[in-house]
Each structure stands twice: as structure tokens, then as C-alpha cells.
């Protein structure tokens, strides 16, 4: 386990991966604490159709109290993010960001610009909030079951309901 001062944060890890692996193609980033029952195929097709912009995965948690725990997006009829707030006190919607990002190579410079401005690297949602104020970011809303098992209640639910 890395010491606290050695951690890069989620955005720092994305940049590190891009640079150390010399990534030149579309980048799909997904948090390891996502548990879901749907295919990513439609999301990938949606994301490709919205290139060269970043596309994020969204899930309607249907509860404003629960929404306060996530990055929350509001989208227009064209699925463009019109508002994004990381862990809002007053959520503009219940569309939670799943920490699922499709980043085309044309947007790699945006991630580096975010870092160069000295902005926080620990929560990827902060990057999405910043980026959506500068340029179009699109959101794809999934249907089905999604759990953020980084949350204790969600983890317990998953353990109780998805045992073999």
C-alpha cells in the first residue's frame, strides 16, 4: 500500500497510465467499485458517436438524499451535461456519475491542462465538473442495476443479494 503522500489520485493515475503506457487510442476508465448487470456496448457506441468529446456513464439513483453522495449531472435532450456537481448539498438531479469515462485522444490534453492548473487530482468528478464548464461533455444513462460497492451499505446489499 502506498503512503498517502505517494498516491497520485484518480486523475493522477489516469495521466500516469496514459503516459507510462503511451496510450494513443480511446481510453475507457472504470472504477473498480462499480458492480452492474448491463452491457457496455451501447455506451461505447454512444461515446464513439460523440467523439471527440468525453462521455461519462450515468445512473439514476432516484433519490435526492442518495444523490448527495455522488457526482451528479443534469443533461439536456441531447445528453449534453448542462450541470455537474461533485457531492452536491442540493443535487440538480438524481443522475449519478458512475466513474465510467470514455476519453478520446483529442481530450488527453484537457486532463493534463486540469493537472497543470493545480486542481485536485483525487476525485475524478472534480475533473468532469471543470471540463463540463469548458466544453461539451456527454452522459449516457444506463438502465438496470448499479451499485457503488465502495459504499458500505451497497457492499452489504451486494453480499446479501449476489452470493453464489
Q: What is the pLDDT along the chain (164 residues), one digit of tens a residue?
A: 454 455 678 888 898 999 999 999 999 999 877 778 889 999 999 999 999 999 999 999 999 999 999 999 999 999 999 999 999 999 989 999 998 999 999 999 999 999 999 998 888 889 999 999 999 999 999 998 888 777 777 778 778 777 76
Of 8, 44, 3, 10, nearest in space to 26 by CA = 44
Q: What is the DSSP string of 82-107?
A: EEEEES-SS-S-SEEEEEEEEE-GGG
Q: Could you check whether the bond before residue 52 is cis, i.e. omega within 30 degrees of 0?
A: yes
Residue 73 and residue 93 in contact, taking contact as beta carbons nearer than 8 Å: yes
Of 135, 148, 121, 133, nearest in space to 57 by CA = 148
Domain chopping of the chain, boundaries: 4-150
Residue 139 and residue 53 in contact, taking contact as beta carbons nearer than 8 Å: no
H helices of 89-162, where? 108-116, 124-134, 152-161
Q: What is the CATH class of 4-150? A: alpha beta
Of 12, 3, 14, nearest in space to 122 by CA = 12
Question: Which pTM was predicted?
Answer: 0.88
In whole angstroms, how far apart are CA 48 and each of 1, 9, 13, 55, 72?
Answer: 36, 27, 23, 9, 23
Strand-pairing partners, residue 72, are: 85, 96
Amino acid at each position: 500500500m502506498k503512503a498517502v503522500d505517494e498516491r497520485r489520485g484518480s486523475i493522477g493515475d489516469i495521466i500516469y497510465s496514459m503516459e507510462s503506457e503511451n496510450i494513443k487510442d480511446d481510453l475507457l476508465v472504470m472504477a473498480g467499485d462499480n458492480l452492474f448487470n448491463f452491457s457496455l456496448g451501447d455506451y461505447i457506441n454512444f461515446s464513439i458517436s460523440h467523439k471527440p468529446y468525453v462521455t461519462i456513464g450515468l445512473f439514476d439513483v432516484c433519490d435526492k438524499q442518495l444523490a448527495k453522495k455522488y457526482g451528479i449531472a443534469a443533461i439536456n435532450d441531447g445528453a449534453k451535461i448542462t450541470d455537474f456537481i461533485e457531492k452536491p448539498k442540493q443535487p440538480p438531479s438524481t443522475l449519478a456519475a458512475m466513474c465510467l469515462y470514455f476519453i478520446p485522444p483529442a481530450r488527453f490534453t484537457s486532463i493534463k491542462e486540469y493537472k497543470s492548473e493545480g486542481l485536485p487530482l483525487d476525485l475524478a468528478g472534480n475533473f468532469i465538473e471543470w471540463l463540463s464548464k469548458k466544453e461539451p461533455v456527454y452522459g449516457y444513462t444506463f438502465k438496470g442495476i448499479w451499485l457503488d460497492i465502495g459504499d458500505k451499505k451497497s457492499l452489504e446489499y451486494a453480499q446479501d443479494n449476489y452470493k453464489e
